[in-house]
Amino acid sequence: MFGMVATAAARKASDVAQQRRWLVGGMLVVIGLLCLWFFAMQVPADVISKYRFSGGGDPVQLPVIELPTRLTNFILALALIAFGAFHITRGVAHSGALFGVSASLLLAIFLTWSIRGASLNLTGLLESTLIRSIPFLLGALSGIMCERSGIINIAIEGMMLTAAFVSVIVGALTGNLWIALVAGLLSGALIAGAHAVLSIRFKVDQIISGTVINIFAAGLTNFLNLRWLTVNQELNNSGTFAKLPIPFLSDIPVLGTILFNQIILVYIALGLMFAVNFLLFSTRWGLRTRAVGEHPKAADTLGVNVFKIRYANVIFAGMLAALGGAFLTLGSVGRFDKLMTNGRGFIALAAMIFGNWNPFGSFGASLLFGFMDSLQLKLQILTSVIPSEFLLMAPYLATIIVLAGVVGRVRPPAAEGIPYEKQ
Amino acid sequence: MTKARRRERKRKSQTKARKRKASVTLRGSQCRSLRQRDTRYVNSMAQVTATAIPQNNPTPAPRNSIVRRGLDVLTIPALSILTAFIVSGFVIAFTSPEVLKLLPQFWQHPLKLLTTMHETVTTAYAALLQGAFGDWGAIWQGLESWLATGNATDLLRALRDPFESLVGATPYIFTGLAVAVGFKGGLFNIGVEGQLFAGAVASAWVGFSIEGLPWFIHLPLALGAGIAAGAVWAGIAGLLKATRGVNEVINTIMLNYIMFLFTDWLLSDGGPLRGNAGAPRTPEIYPSAYLPRLLPDPVRFHWGFFLAIGAVFFVYWLLWKTTVGFEIRTVGASPTAAKYAGIAVGKVFVMAMGLSGGLAGLAGANELLGLNHYMVAAFSPGYGFDAIALALLGKSNPFGVLAAALLFGALRNGATRMQSIATVPIDIISVMQALIIAFIAAPEIVRWLFRLRTPAQQEHEVFARGWGA
């Protein structure tokens, strides 16, 4: 009897999976055909896309790769169609791989087409991709730490903004970037503490609490920006971290420029990604965090202090987001501008969901979003049929599609959003 | 093949189909959310029974008088606003350059510092109040000179401020209602700002692209376009919640940014709605689509305000006097109970979201047709985000929202005056609004600050939920 139900359910599930495979694979094939027609067939045969790997002033000049646009895109589009067909017949089990491969192929086609008859410094593009993905990564890590313990964090934007502001002011006042960074982190911890108290102690709806933080941070930084910084411009200049090339490794031609010739905050952020992953999945703390996020009552029964874990995680999350905010100022421009985070906190939220609440997955998503971001800047110079606004939309649109379950399924922690009441 | 065997097989396949159906209705994520809601429902029932049977509870004297009950309802909002004002006063004082200059010499001249602080705050708040409610002396003088000479210039100039507060309140009424309708249906529409943009863009497009219509066709058409655009944009989130069980909060956040970028593109150089002017804006709409003004120039008061009042009554009527409203409120109170009562919960989600978005779109259309007459990218100072505070302040009741919107309109208008006279940046009211939301959402803070008694029955306006469903 039960066996029958189980088989029926399993068959149903496999039916659904089959349907979805047809849907996604079919979509890929159709997109591939469209690419074949537009990005390959419509291009004259003699047009060439040049990929450069070194900038004009680099000591080592690497050879320029010249690709015939039409042929390259023809091959890439065929690969995309083949990949879609493979997904329909055999199925790609890992949704990250499915998404990663198809997105990279599509982007490669689009990029090759965009630079037809021109050239592009690929190393520079990838370098700026990494730099632009760092705030997304840190914000996503913040979201992961918070939400894995069961507290929704839509306040990443507000935390980033606060830290960006505080670090600039303190940097300008003290002239020491490290003190500025610590002050930024503390401000993030403080504002995350407010989120924690509201949502844990006072059991406020966590979305409302996050909204409070966002409105408060935007209001206060705008207020202080107008009241202090626009009057004293010298207060709005913190200086920035210098590049810190790692000896020997930074001399590797392409990889060295991208990975090992960055400011120290990039290395810290990448290190934090591994640290958070280790913390979550290999330590007692992480086990407790996940237990509290999935089933706080059970965790409490086993002697885990739910409130302590949640407070600590939210405050740590605040510091991670604050590092992302400080990166925007101390790491790149050294000054504060009104609402300078500009939705990055929400893209970080999207990266977190995209990465299914996992640090490495979120980093992948951050890289993708960072690539989109730097690509649209490059494409503003080149001529393109796709307006930059549409490329900027991609992270938001992709999140909606992923959440709707068209491509794979994401699963948030079970106890998220529900205030815990000790009995 | 015999008849019996065929029948047997048919029966088997039918049971299989039925079981398949059963397994579908209790899929993983839904199952979890149902369970969550069940416990919440049971908890709330337990709360109701607990309050219904006063077991040696130190209940205060019976509260029969309407005045008493009204005071009880107003206490927390009023004290929240008061506290927010006090805290913001400290923020204004301690960020003032004059005060900061005196701060190191506090021990030499403590009194001087205190008086400077006091002066800073009183100047700011006096300007705020005057900007919000007008200078009644000037209005009186203007009235006298108008009666004496027939020259209304002074009167109109004096009347500008109080009417400007109403003009500022108008979009707040719409957006506040939008969030409130969502709350009533158990939905958190954080995307009001995006829907407002959608409404404004649509009504601008109708306003400038159709020429030669009489106003009684053109104006409703433009308003309708705004409503429809907002409803569709919000309806996407409602539909995804109904069909795929995706939380509407995250989708409306994402839809917000998509709409902002989309608007940027529409207005960008070479964009489809870009006008001829050098700035990123649409062409001006034809006067036949204007929401007419009621008074001559400097006063910008227009018919949109009465439209907003109408919307308040409409929402009240819809929510409390119609079947649709009953269904929305039931789903908001408990989706499980609503499902057992035979309400199509998914349909209600889409409807409530559409209604909410329609109101938000109307807010955008109102701003565009009544004030600007063309669309610019930065036409809203965050009406959609402030609306969350309004709905909470008004307890999701249309008349409560109206009162809160009038207050916020006055605040925003007053803050403009404060910025120009006392050089206190207008953004302080965002700080105030954040504090007001925090205090309303966590009334324990206010009760603790003012040593108030905790009431026996606690109300929960918005249910806490996760991303899952």
Q: Do A224 and B95 touch (CB under 8 A)?
A: yes
Average pLDDT over residues A336-349: 88
In this prediction the ipTM stands at: 0.85
The predicted structure's pLDDT at residue B54: 41
Q: What pLDDT was estimated at residue A56?
A: 65
Q: For A278-295, what is the mean pLDDT?
A: 94
Which residues in chain A have their CB less than 8 angstroms from residue B445's CB?
202
Q: What is the pLDDT of residues B47-78, one digit of tens each?
A: 443 444 444 444 455 555 677 767 777 888 89
pLDDT over 90 (residue A55) = no
- Which domain covers residue B334, as residue numbers? 167-411
Residues found in chain A:
423
From chain B, pick out residues whose CB is under 8 angstroms from the CB of A412.
466-468
Q: How many CB atoms lie within 10 A of CB A159?
A: 35
The pair of three-digit structure tokens given for residue B375, joined into one six-digit string? 């669309």
Check A228 against B95: CB less than 8 A apart.
yes
User: Does pLDDT of A311 surpass 90?
Assistant: yes
Q: Is B275 part of any domain?
A: yes
How near does any CA of chain B get to the CA of A350, in Å?
Answer: 8
CB contact under 8 A, B19 and A8: yes
pLDDT of B91: 92
The pLDDT of residue B250 is: 84
Query: Which of A 49-88 lie inside 8 A of B, CB atoms?
Result: none
A116: left (phi over 0), alpha (psi -120 to 50) or beta: beta
Greater confidence (B150 vs B466) lies with: B150
Return the pLDDT at B39. Answer: 44
pLDDT digits (tens, 9 = 90+) for A382-403: 666 677 888 888 888 888 887 7
Q: Is residue B154 part of a domain?
A: no
Cβ of B253 and A224 within 8 Å? no
Percent of chain B whose pLDDT exceeds 70: 83
Q: How far is B218 from chain A (nearest CA, A)?
A: 31
pLDDT tens, B306-347?
A: 999 999 999 999 999 999 999 999 998 888 888 898 888 899
CA proximity to A105, closest of A89, A90, A86: A86
pLDDT of residue A67: 84
More confident residue, B38 or A119: A119
Residue percentage of chain A with pLDDT more than 90: 38
CB-based contact A412 B468, cutoff 8 Å: yes
Query: Is residue B12 scored above 90 in pLDDT?
Result: no
The answer to whether position B253 is within a domain reads yes
Q: Please tell me which residue of chain B has the smallest CA distance to A400.
A: B251
Predicted pLDDT of residue B7: 63
Mean pLDDT (chain B, rounded):
81
Beta partners for residue A66, in sequence order: A50
Does residue B258 lie in a domain region?
yes
Mean pLDDT value of segment A25-49: 85
Chain A CB contacts of B95 under 8 Å are 223-224, 227-228
Distance CA A246, CA A236 (A): 30
pLDDT tops 90 at residue A417: no
Name the residue of chain A whose CA is nearest to B183's CA. Answer: A208
B-proximal residues of A, 193-252, CB under 8 Å: 198, 202-209, 211-216, 218-220, 222-224, 226-228, 231
Could A198 and B240 be called an inter-chain contact, meaning their C-beta atoms sit closer than 8 Å?
no
Domains of chain A listed by start with CATH number: 16-117 (no CATH), 131-403 (1.10.3470)
pLDDT at A7: 64
Give a yes or no: residue B429 inside a domain: no
pLDDT reported for residue A406: 65
Number of A to B CB contacts under 8 A, please give it: 176
CB atoms B254 and A400 under 8 Å: yes
Q: What is the pLDDT of residue B308?
A: 94
More confident residue, B439 or A231: B439
Which pLDDT tens digit goes with each residue over A127-155? 899 999 999 999 999 999 999 999 999 89
- Please check the confidence at residue B41 and state whether its pLDDT lies above 80: no
Q: Do the Cβ atoms of B265 and A387 come within 8 Å? A: yes
Residues of B in contact with A297 (CB under 8 A): none
| DSSP output for A30-83 | HHHHHHIIIIIITS-TT-EEEEE-S-TT-SSPPPPEEEEHHHHHHHHHHHHHHH
- Sheet containing A48-52: which strands, arranged edge to edge? A65-68, A48-52, A119-121
Report pLDDT for A48.
83
Q: What is the pLDDT of residue B279?
A: 79
Query: Which of B39-53, B258-272, B428-442 is the least confident region?
Result: B39-53
Q: Judge whether B407 lies within some domain.
A: yes
Assess contact for A147 and A411: CB atoms under 8 A: no
- Please report the pLDDT score of residue A279 as a whole number: 94
Asked if A2 reaches chain B (Cβ–Cβ under 8 Å), the answer is no
Whether B266 maps to a domain, the answer reads yes
Report which of A413, A323, A352, A8 is spatially closest to residue A134, judged by C-alpha positions.
A323
Q: How far is A127 from chain B (nearest CA, A)?
A: 25
* B451/chain A closest Cα distance in angstroms: 16
**Contact between chains at A216 and B424 (C-beta distance less than 8 A):** no
Question: So what's the pLDDT on residue A377?
Answer: 80
- Closest to B427 (Cβ–Cβ): which among A204, A219, A349? A219
Q: How far is A190 from chain B (nearest CA, A)?
A: 16
Q: What is the pLDDT of residues B366-424, one digit of tens each?
A: 999 988 888 888 888 888 888 888 888 888 899 999 999 999 899 888 998 888 888 88
**Using the beta-carbon criterion (under 8 Å), do A400 and B32 form an inter-chain contact?**
no
Are residues A417 and B20, on separate chains, in Cβ contact within 8 Å?
A: no
pLDDT band with cut points at 50, 70 and 90 for residue A327: very high
- Inter-chain touch B240–A216, beta carbons under 8 Å: no
Please tell me which residue of chain B has the smallest CA distance to A217: B431
Chain A residue with Cα closest to B263: A389
Q: Hey, CA dihedral for A383, A387, A391, A392, is it positive or negative?
A: positive
Tell me: pLDDT of B79 over 80. yes
Within a domain: B37: no
pLDDT digits (tens, 9 = 90+) for A225-283: 998 888 888 888 888 888 888 888 887 777 887 888 889 999 999 999 999 999 999 99
What does the pLDDT read at residue A10?
Answer: 66
**Are residues A4 and B19, on separate chains, in Cβ contact within 8 Å?**
yes
Alpha-carbon gap, residue A42 to B78, rounded angstroms = 67
Domains identified in chain B, total number = 1
Predicted confidence at residue B10, as pLDDT, reads: 59
Report residue A178 as tokens. Answer: 């490290």
* Cβ-defined contact of B430 to A404 (cutoff 8 Å): no
Give residue B156's pLDDT.
Answer: 83
Residue B139 has pLDDT above 60, yes or no: yes
Q: A315 falls in which pLDDT band (50, 70, 90)?
A: very high
